Structure 1
Amino acid sequence: MSQPKPLPTDPIAEAHRQWTAHGWGPVADGMAAVTSLMRAQQILLARVDEVLRPLDLTFARYELLMLLLFSRKGSLPLSRIGSLLQVHPTSVTSAVDRLEARGQVRRLPHPTDRRAILAEITEDGRATALAATEKLNDTVFADPGLPDSGVRDLVELLTDLRRGAGDF
């Protein structure tokens, strides 16, 4: 995977130093934590995008395919997809449109609720989801950039952050 040329110094450490020097020392650690987390998200998303791009997938469309793949019937109401993925209904519609155009998902009427539409994964969608997962497992998830104990610690810390924010 191609990576950008590393910077000569850590800009977040420099921002922390500047925060402290300008009298914001009490919140400098929080600023560094938030900024570090956002930069880490950018780095990981770039790695994921590099793997998914040849499959003509975005991470959002990959997540949708996996959600349908893991569902009991291979289908879910669009409103439930939005709730589970925590995205706006417009984003769900857009992702389903793209996947439907590629033959990986199809829309179906809900069998008991005339107002609802189901998204159902197709065989092509299943094959794409599994191929993407295999590539992500091999290149990103197997080595997210931390030792195993660091990965577990990070997951615990982020779980605490998410719980505290009312994520679940």
Structure 2
Amino acid sequence: MASPRPLPIDPLAEAKRQWLAHGWTDAADGMAVVTSVMRAQQLLLGRVDAALRPFGLSFARYELLRLLGFSRSGRLPLSSVVARLQVHATSVTSTAERLVRDGYVIREPHPHDGRAAMLVLTTAGRTLVDQATAALNTEVFTDPGMSAGDAAELVGIVARMRKKAGDFADPRPQPDPL
């Protein structure tokens, strides 16, 4: 939970100072990176959750709906959803089942693979994800809390880290503009 007012010192800078004072100099920068990114994730997720709350969506449910909404026909095989969201199949299946239950997605048999399922966005799901996207664009994405230059630099840095970790093989650190 965020503090109601700013702290008088940066607790992550203090943590790094403590790491250095305890002789963990080789790990101090890495600790500062990890805890800084994790704190930034908490802050951003809080804003995203607040924007999605009126729509009854978690970010996982939103991501699945948005992915289907971006597809040409509003349908994708479950295996493609798992690969693109980079989440375990069990998590995607659970999220999809809740969206099916709520009438935002339907499951259909795969046209060429009897063992596979297709996830299909319903009209209600498309309406919901479009409304939720408008809210996220207005409340979070238009102003993520940093300048456009800092945002581009951060995206590039994180993309290089993700690529080194094996997240993707594309040689470009970020997609070309559409």
TM-score range, shorter chain: over 0.9
Q: 1:8 maps to what in 2?
A: 8
1:38-68 Cα shifts (integer Å, max 9, x gaps): 1100110111001101100000010000110
Higher helix share: 1
Cα distance in 1 for partners of 2:26, 2:119 equals 49
Supply the AA of the counterpart residue of 1:4. S
The residue matched to 1:106 in structure 2 has which SS?
strand
The residue matched to 1:76 in structure 2 has which SS?
strand
The residue matched to 1:7 in structure 2 has which SS?
coil
Supply the AA of the counterpart residue of 2:110. H
Moved more, 22-31 or 146-155: 22-31
Cα distance in 1 for partners of 2:146, 2:69 equals 28
Supply the AA of the counterpart residue of 1:17. R
Cα distance in 2 for partners of 1:45, 1:137 equals 14
Residue 25 of structure 2 corresponds to residue 61 of structure 1: no
Cα offset, 1:36, TM superposition: 0.1
Tell me the TM-score normalised to structure 1 length.
Answer: 0.96
The residue matched to 2:24 in structure 1 has which SS?
helix
Q: Structure 1 regions of 5+ residues with no counterpart? A: none
Supply the AA of the counterpart residue of 2:99. L
Tell me the TM-score normalised to structure 2 length.
Answer: 0.91
Matches within 5 A, 1:131-150: 131-150=131-150
* Alignment size in residue pairs: 167
Cα distance in 2 for partners of 1:145, 1:46 equals 13
Q: 2:47 maps to what in 1?
A: 47
Cα distance in 2 for partners of 1:27, 1:95 equals 37
Moved more, 21-30 or 111-120: 21-30
Cα offset, 1:11, TM superposition: 1.1
Q: Structure 2 regions of 5+ residues with no counterpart? A: 169-178
Q: 2:176 maps to what in 1?
A: none
The residue matched to 1:108 in structure 2 has which SS?
strand
Q: 2:94 maps to what in 1?
A: 94
Aligned-pair identity in percent equals: 56
Cα distance in 2 for partners of 1:167, 1:98 equals 27
Q: 1:31 maps to what in 2?
A: 31
Cα offset, 1:3, TM superposition: 5.4
Cα distance in 1 for partners of 2:26, 2:89 equals 39
The residue matched to 1:38 in structure 2 has which SS?
helix
Cα distance in 2 for partners of 1:73, 1:126 equals 11
Cα offset, 1:26, TM superposition: 2.3
Cα offset, 1:84, TM superposition: 0.9
Supply the AA of the counterpart residue of 2:98. R
The residue matched to 2:106 in structure 1 has which SS?
strand
Cα distance in 2 for partners of 1:40, 1:124 equals 33
Cα distance in 2 for partners of 1:32, 1:78 equals 37
The residue matched to 1:23 in structure 2 has which SS?
coil
- Deviant stretches of 4+, over 2 Å: none
